Every structure is written in structure tokens, then in C-alpha cells.
Amino acid sequence: MLKIFNFFRVLYSFFKFANANDVVKFFNIHKSSKIFFSRKTKIDTANIEENVSIDFFKGSLKKLTIGRGSYLSGELIVYGYNGTLQIGKYCSMADRLVLICGESFHQSKRLSTYPFPFMSPFKNYDIKDKLFDSTSSFPETKIIIGNDVSIGEDVLITKNVQIGNGSVIAAKSVLIHDVPPYAIVIGNPATIVSYRYSKKEIEMIEKIKWWNWSTKKIIENIHIFKKTGNELNKELERIIKNIYLV
């Protein structure tokens, strides 16, 4: 019974997933990273740093960049064409993340938003070139997710939104505006409910930029990642002091 189950699991994976060679024109994916691309994915350029893990990626992008250590447990779906997606280092992202990163064939300023060339009976006629240019000529849009960002389940992020370092995006939030660093946002549309740290602490963390530390340095300083409140503040001050002493 187990052999039959494994057979169908492998067969399912074969039809659902594609090799990077098949869906990405130019890529630099670190050997320690694992991204499972949908066969319906199309990316011009991808740069993936070490220890990145994405369970399922589907969509079209001009450029994809993901920093080391970032992971997504579940599905990441991108809608639109000719967009750029930049995800920083050590981001934690949950299932069903949907991004509107690029323009679509539903043009709201035209007489109709209906995608005639792709729907019956119109798709049987040679009309696509009469309505749309190549997707590479679509206006370029961008989504930027900073470092150490936490994103809950069922989040929607719209085009040209920038999420600052250390932000926390609550589950089921809809982002239509930029999110400041270390803000905690929730809702539809997402609004700021608080910040993770004081202004002084945020300034110190932004100076330290721990996400740029080597793995060795993070391990050597792993104790600070457990601290909160005054204890964390003291550690940040100590590190800042050492930076200026060097």
C-alpha cells in the first residue's frame, strides 16, 4: 500500500512541479536552497541565496531575488506580468501568500476588463495582437519585502508595496500601502497596530543589520535572540559600542 502511495506522490510531483531550467531563463540558485516551481511559472531572472526554502511557487516575473534563510511553508502565488519581487534575508512566510506583482490582461481603463483572446469563443480567432502587446512591454511594477519579515497565512500584497525590515504582517491582511520597519499590521486594508520596539531600539537594529552577519557570527551571538525588553536593549547598546570601537 505504501509503495502505491509513493508511486502516485511521485507521479503527482512530476506533473505539478518543474525544474528551474524549464521555467527560469537565467538563474543563480544556491545548491542548499529548494524551490518547487509550478509548471505554469515563467521567470526571466532569479537569484536565490543559500538555505532558501519555498514549498510551491507559481507565477510570472521579470526578476526574482530571495535572501538567505528565507522560507515559505505552503504556496506563493504571483499574479501579473513584468513585475520584480525582492524578498530579503531570514523572512518567515506562511501558506497562501498572494502577490499582485505586475500588470494583467484585465485592463480597467479600457472599454472592458474581459480577456477576450483567452476565452471561448474568442480564443479561436487571431485577435490577441490586436488587443495586447508583449507582456514584456507591460509597465514594470515591484514588491519589496525587507529582511526578517514575518508574514501570516492568507496575506495579499498588491503591486509597488514595500515592506520594511522586521515587520510583522498578521494573517489574512491585505497590503495596499508601504509598511514601515518593525511595524505590526493587521486587517483589510492593513493598518499599523503597534511597533515591535522603541524608536531608539529600531535605530540600533538597523545599524547592526544582524541579517548580514555570517552564520558563524549569528551562532556566536545566538543568546541575544532570546532576550527581550531591557535585556535586549542592553545587548544592542553593547554591540553598537563594539562596532564603534573597531
Active site residues: 106
CA dihedral 55, 59, 60, 66 (to 10 degrees): -30
The closest of 39, 63, 58 to 97, measured between CA atoms, is 58
In the block, residue with C-alpha cell 529600531: 202
The closest of 36, 68, 42 to 54, measured between CA atoms, is 36
First to last CA, the chain: 63
Secondary structure (3-state) at 195: strand
Specify the amino acid at residue 56.
Answer: F
Strand partners for 61? 43
209-213 contacts, C-beta under 8 A, 24 or more apart: 209/147, 211/67, 211/88, 211/89, 211/90, 211/147, 211/148, 211/165, 212/89
DSSP code string of 90-137 = S-EE-S-EEEE-SB-S--TTSS----GGGSTTGGGSS-HHHH---GGG
CA angle 109, 112, 115 (to 5 degrees): 110
